[in-house]
C-alpha cells in the first residue's frame, strides 16, 4: 500500500485544475506555441487528439519515421501522466520486433506500457537509435513513479490495432492510434 497511502485524500480533485494539458513538447516547441497547445489541447507538431466515443484516438506526426515513433511514445505518456513533473533521471534501452511497421508501432507502445505497469517507470523523452521495418531500438529517459511528484491522468490498457495506420503523407510521417482506456 505504500504507494497509494502517501497520497492525501483530495476532495473533488478535479476542481483544482482548469486546463486540460495536451501535447506539451517543451523540448521541441517554443513557449508561445506551448501555451497555444495548452489552450487548444492540441499540439500540431507532435500529436492531436481525435474524437472517439470510448477510448482515446490520436494522430501523431513526425518529420522522419524515427521521429514518428518518438512522438507516438510521447503522446502515450502525455495521456497517462502530467509530464511536467517527470524528470529525465534514468535511461532505458528498449528493443522490440514486429512483423511490419504497424505491428512495430503497437509493440513499441505496449512495451512502454509494460515497463510502466510492471516497474512503475514513467518516460518523457525518446530517441530511436535503430529502425527497420521489423525492429526498433530506442533510448528512453524518465524516472520511477513517485506519488508525491507525479500526477497520473488516465490508465491506458493498450495501444490497439483498430484502424491503425502508419503512413507517409507528403514528406512527413503520420500514424493514427487508438488507446484502449
Partner 1 sequence: MERHELKKIHDNLYEIPKTGQMKVPGRIFADAALLSTILADQSPEQVRNVATLPGILRYSLAMPDMHWGYGFPIGGVAATDIKTGVISPGGVGYDINCGVRLVRTDLRHSDVRDRVRDLVGALFEKIPCGVGSRNAIPKLSLSELDRVLVEGAAWAVKNGFGTTDDLEHTEESGSLPGANSDKVSERARERGRAQLGTLGSGNHFLEVQRVDEIFEPAVADAFGLQEGSITLMIHSGSRGLGYQVCDDYLKVMARASEKYGFSLPDRQLACAPVTSREGKDYFGAMACAANFAWANRQIMMHLGIETVLKTLQISPRNLGAKLVYDVCHNIAKFEEHTVDGKKRMVCVHRKGATRAYPPGHPLVPRAYRAVGQPVLIPGDMGRASYVSVGTEAAMEETFGSTCHGAGRVLSRHKAVRAAKGRSICRELEDQGIIARSRGKRTMAEEMPEAYKDINNVVQVMHDAGIARKVARLKPLGVIKG
Q: Which residues bind partner 1 (CB under 8 A)?
A: 1-5, 7, 9, 11-15, 17-18, 20, 41, 49, 51-56, 80-82, 99, 102-103, 106-107, 110, 113-114, 116-118, 120, 145, 151-155, 157-158, 160-164, 178, 180-181
Q: How far is the CB of 99 from partner 1 (least distance, A)?
A: 7
Specify the residue, 98 or 172, whose C-beta has the smaller distance to partner 1: 98
Specify the residue, 87 or 153, whose C-beta has the smaller distance to partner 1: 153
β-strand partners of 58: 49, 177
What are the angstrom distances between the C-alpha of 129 and each of 65, 67, 136? 11, 10, 8
Q: How far is the CB of 136 from partner 1 (least distance, A)?
A: 15
User: What is the per-residue DSSP string for 75-127?
Assistant: HHHHHHB-GGG----EEEEEEEE-SSHHHHHHHHHHHHHHHHHHH-EEEEEEE
Amino acid at each position: 500500500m505504500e504507494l497509494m497511502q502517501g497520497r492525501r485524500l483530495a476532495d473533488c480533485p478535479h476542481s483544482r485544475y482548469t486546463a486540460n494539458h495536451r501535447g506539451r513538447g517543451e523540448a521541441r516547441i517554443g513557449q508561445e506555441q506551448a501555451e497555444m497547445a495548452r489552450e487548444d489541447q492540441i499540439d500540431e507538431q507532435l500529436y492531436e487528439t481525435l474524437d472517439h466515443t470510448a477510448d482515446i484516438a490520436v494522430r501523431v506526426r513526425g518529420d522522419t519515421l524515427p521521429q514518428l515513433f518518438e512522438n507516438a511514445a510521447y503522446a502515450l505518456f502525455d495521456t497517462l501522466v502530467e509530464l511536467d513533473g517527470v524528470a529525465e533521471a534514468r535511461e532505458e534501452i528498449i528493443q522490440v520486433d514486429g512483423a511490419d511497421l504497424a505491428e512495430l508501432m503497437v509493440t513499441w507502445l505496449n512495451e512502454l506500457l509494460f515497463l510502466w505497469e510492471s516497474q512503475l517507470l514513467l518516460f518523457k523523452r525518446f530517441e530511436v537509435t535503430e529502425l527497420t521495418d521489423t525492429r526498433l531500438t530506442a533510448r528512453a529517459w524518465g524516472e520511477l513513479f513517485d506519488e508525491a511528484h507525479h500526477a497520473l491522468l488516465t490508465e491506458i490498457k493498450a495501444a490497439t490495432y483498430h484502424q491503425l495506420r502508419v503512413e507517409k503523407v507528403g514528406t512527413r510521417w503520420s500514424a493514427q492510434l487508438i488507446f484502449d482506456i
